[in-house]
Amino acid sequence: MAVNVAVVGATGAVGDLIRKVLAERHFPVKSIKFLASEKSAGRTVEFAGKEYPVEPIRPEAFAGVQIVLSSTPSSVSKEYSPIAARAGAVVVDNSSAWRMDPDCPLVVPEVNADQLHHIPKRIVANPNCVAIPLCVALKPLHDLGRVRRAVVATYQSSSGKGAKGLADFDAQLRAFAAGGPVPAPTAHRGQLAGNVLTLDWTLDPNGYTEEENKVVNETRKILGDATIGVSPTCVRVPVRVAHSMAVTAEFDHPVTVAEARKVLAEAPGVVLVDEARGEVPQPLHAEGTDHTYVGRVRKDPSHPAALSLWVVADNLRKGAASNAVQCAEELVKRGIVG
């Protein structure tokens, strides 16, 4: 069944990709409109071979809309997502504003799509770009042996800071490659070219960054288990697109590598990569895809009931835009909208 759609934040990096993913996946659009800030209003964007005007975000723009796909700063989301919901739409919101709200499901369709049947505020939260692929990889393992603790070290690309981050990194990279002085950072919190940054996010009072705390809290909510221990270290690395992570999962009983590989190979959204054939998940492979690539599955020699693995996914697609569109697809497929 075709539905009326609005894309909010349509001219931003994720909003632009949402538009492309909707077309790629042949989402059942009856009508569509694209909303953005006043400074972007009046521009045109292309969708499915047609040009559409960009309209300013305002309450009356949500009249008749059934699904809103929103990617705006949290402050804008807090104002307009409830307005869209009151107008009758279900909002899939990509900001961090609603993720820990108990009345807003935090959804990764391969993991907990059933949560879409209970949306008290009519707002579905799209998770953090690390939590999404982490949970896609952990879910089959959690079902197999109940994950008690996950130690996670991330290797996050520049594009996690959006278009401004990429422009910043590219300018640094050109200067670094030329052997000249590297310009001062404008989006990242330090020089990223030829370097790594573990404080590229705001530091919270508990000594962890806001990004690390998101990984802890969102992983527990998505997997529906508040008892899971999560120990994260988030690091920005000189890669343009796709986040990687080293994960060690401790189970409540020993799980063999063969058992883990079997459930991962069968898991929705996962592409299991075989290092025995010289294959290892890499950002270059993940970029532009909607899969979560998993490899290097091996026993942890320091713990009898733990396995280590390597996970890679495109942070702009599966980590943001594509996951949001998948949520919208589930809303239609399950008859929640339409």
Name the residues annotated as catalytic.
Answer: 129, 243
How many whole angstroms separate alpha carbon 138 and alpha carbon 70?
27
The residue count of the chain comes to 338
Secondary structure class of 168 (helix, strand, coil): helix
Residue type at 253? Answer: H
Q: How far apart are CA 323 and CA 94, in angstroms?
A: 9
CA distances to 14, 41, 73, 79, 88 from 38, in Å: 18, 5, 15, 15, 24
The rounded distance, in Å, linking the Cα atoms of 338 and 116 is 14
Nearest to 168 by CA among 145, 197, 144: 197
Q: Are 12 and 34 in contact (CB under 8 A)?
A: no
Query: What string of DSSP letters covers 34-76?
Result: EEE-TTTTT-EEEETTEEEEEEEP-GGGGTT-SEEEE---HHH
Give 252's Cβ-side CA count (13 Å radius).
10
Q: Taking the CA atoms of 157, 158, 162 and 163 in sequence, report the sign of the dihedral they define.
A: negative
Residue 101 contacts residue 125 (beta carbons within 8 Å) = yes
Query: In sequence order, what are the beta bridge partners of 52?
Result: 45
Token reading at 282: 């890499």
The dihedrals phi and psi of 30, each to the nearest 5 degrees, come to -90, -50
CA distances 37 to 22, 51, 187, Å, are 21, 18, 20
